[in-house]
Every structure is written in C-alpha cells, then in structure tokens.
Amino acid sequence: MRGFSGIVLLVLTLTSALLGCGPWETVPTVALSELPAWVGKRVVIEGCLRFSCPQVPGASYPRDCLVFLQESESTAYLEFPQGREDLRRTLDGYYEASFTGCVLVRVEGRVVERSCDVPGCVPWIFLEVARILEVQGVRSLRPGAAHPRNFSPGR
C-alpha cells in the first residue's frame, strides 16, 4: 500500500509541474514603469484603480470607460480577455469609489504589446488580466493630488 501511495504522489507532482502549477512557480511583481521589459511574460502589478471615460452623449459609465492602474507617474491599461467579463465587472464595482481616493488593486496577467503601422505611432503596452489578486479599500487622496475625475492616462 505504501508503494501505491508513493506512486500516486509522484504522478500528482509531475502533473502539477507539467501544468505549470507547482509551488515553485512564482510570478514576479513589477513596477508599472517596467512593463515594457516584460512583454510576453506573466507579471503581477499593483496601483490605484482609474477609469478614463469618453465624454460623448450616450456613453454608459463605467462600461464604456478604459480601465487603468496608476502608480506615481506611470499608468498601465488593463484589458480583459473575452469570456472573462467577470473580472471587468468586479473592478467596475469600484467605479464611484475610485473618484474619492485610491482603490489599490493587485492583478496578475500577461504583458502584451500592440503595435501599429502608422508613422510616429507608439506601440501600446497593456496587461491582459488573468486574475484579480486583491482589492483594498479606498485610501484618501493626499492634499494637492490631482482628482481622479480628471484622470488622463499618460503613455
């Protein structure tokens, strides 16, 4: 019986390793400003949740807004894979709270670069969100900070 349980344990360990879910696999946490160096890799990032919304008649908020994380002067656009609208809806739930302060969010995903063929166009780097690791409550804005309603993402 001991030999059988040892074989089962070995099979489970090998299966975990092949599926990439072994305990030794760690996903690095990187600063938003470092994302260009991580294109194609899985990373964890964190920052204050921000929404950049179109100012056009008929726009629906927060559905039509772009979602970003902001850390100091750096921002990262978040994109949600098709079929994972639940991730977007989770963050949309913090839409109003994001205007009163910093909703600190930690997400894991793959850094993607979308290039363009227009002369002078800068490639767009974003995080394709795989999962939301943590959402912390609203922290007050420090005095003199730009109000999130005026948020305009930089590149």
Residue 99 CA neighbour count, 13 Å, CB half: 10
Q: What is the pLDDT of residue 138?
A: 83
Closest CA to 90 of 60, 59, 131: 131
Q: What is the pLDDT of residue 5?
A: 55
- Please, which residues have CB within 8 angstroms of residue 87's CB and are 6 or more apart in sequence? 80, 129, 131, 132
pLDDT by residue, tens only, the chain of 155 residues: 555 555 645 455 545 544 555 455 699 999 999 999 999 999 999 999 999 999 999 999 999 999 999 999 999 999 999 999 999 999 999 999 999 999 999 999 999 999 888 888 888 899 999 999 999 988 765 544 444 444 556 54
For strands 74-79 and 66-71, give the pairing.
antiparallel
Domain segments of the chain as ranges:
26-150
Q: What is the pLDDT of residue 139?
A: 77
Q: What is the pLDDT of residue 103?
A: 97
Q: What is the pLDDT of residue 25?
A: 67
Q: What is the pLDDT of residue 18?
A: 47
CATH class of 26-150: mainly beta
Rounded Cα distance between 152 and 53, Å, is 9
Residue with tokens 């750096």: 74
